[in-house]
Amino acid sequence: MNAKTARRPISATSKSIPAALILLATIAGCATDSSTDASTTAPLAPKAANRATDDIMMSKIEALEGEWEMQDENGDWMTASVFSVSSNGSVVREIMFPGSPSEMTNLYHMDGTDAVVTHYCAIGNQPRMVAKGLSKTPDGPAIEYAFDSVSNLRPDHDHVMGSLRVVFLGDDRIRQDWISMDKSGATANEMSFNLRRKQ
């Protein structure tokens, strides 16, 4: 889970923001280009949503918004994750180990009645994991995401994240249980992070 690329600062100026918006509008306009032959365009297939499922699944993740910390190997507290709600409340972004060489991003959202997380790993692949509902564990309610697919899996990648369990231990405490797997699908490593909300 080591990053291979150097971090580059991103800056936004008053001139670059309108240019970016124009680019987005141009790209969006391509989807409704009158030259597109409608007969060759596959219709969109919306997935049925369920407001109760959204409330149960996403509200648990949205409630994590803020900074979370964990103890390092020396027992010192360090910032482990920062959660933020984005895209008009439809996505929660988690930045793990912000500012470190191992910084990674997780994006949580709904896909119909399924809860989805995509893990943007520091080694460069992006596994997608899906949860069907909220489960009960001896430690508290949990969302258990199971492997669905992965993008950008390259020959030199020896593992991919295969599952994530987020256990809600209390209002200000969670545990993340990660299991990675090798290319055969066998378990490669298991990690648990105990987090508390930063005071």
Q: For the CA atoms of 87, 89, 90, 96, what is the dihedral angle to 10 degrees? A: 80
Whole-number Å distance between alpha carbons of 75 and 56: 34
Domain spans of the chain? Answer: 51-197
**Does the pLDDT of residue 189 top 50, yes or no?**
yes
pLDDT in tens, 7-58: 333 334 444 444 443 444 433 444 444 444 555 677 887 777 777 777 788 9
> What pLDDT digit, counting tens, does each position of 177-188 carry?
999 999 899 999
User: What is the Rg, in whole angstroms, of the alpha carbon atoms belonging to the chain?
Assistant: 19
Of residues 4, 185, 25, the one with CA closest to residue 103 = 4
Amino acid identity, position 133: G
Identify the band that residue 199 occupies on the pLDDT scale cut at 50, 70 and 90.
Answer: confident
* pLDDT tens figures, 126-168: 999 999 889 999 999 999 999 999 999 999 999 999 999 999 9
H or E segment and range at residue 192: strand 187-197
> Under a CB-based contact definition with an 8 Å cutoff, are residues 145 and 133 in contact?
no
CATH number of the domain located at residue range(s) 51-197 in this protein = 2.40.128.20
Check residues 195 and 38 and name the one with the higher pLDDT: 195
60-92 tens-digit pLDDT: 999 999 999 999 999 999 999 999 999 999 999
Secondary element (H or E) of residue 130? strand 126-131
Amino acid 49: pLDDT: 74
* Nearest to 64, CA basis, from 132, 166, 162: 166
As a whole number of angstroms, the distance between CA 124 and CA 163 comes to: 17
Predicted local confidence at residue 37, as pLDDT? 54
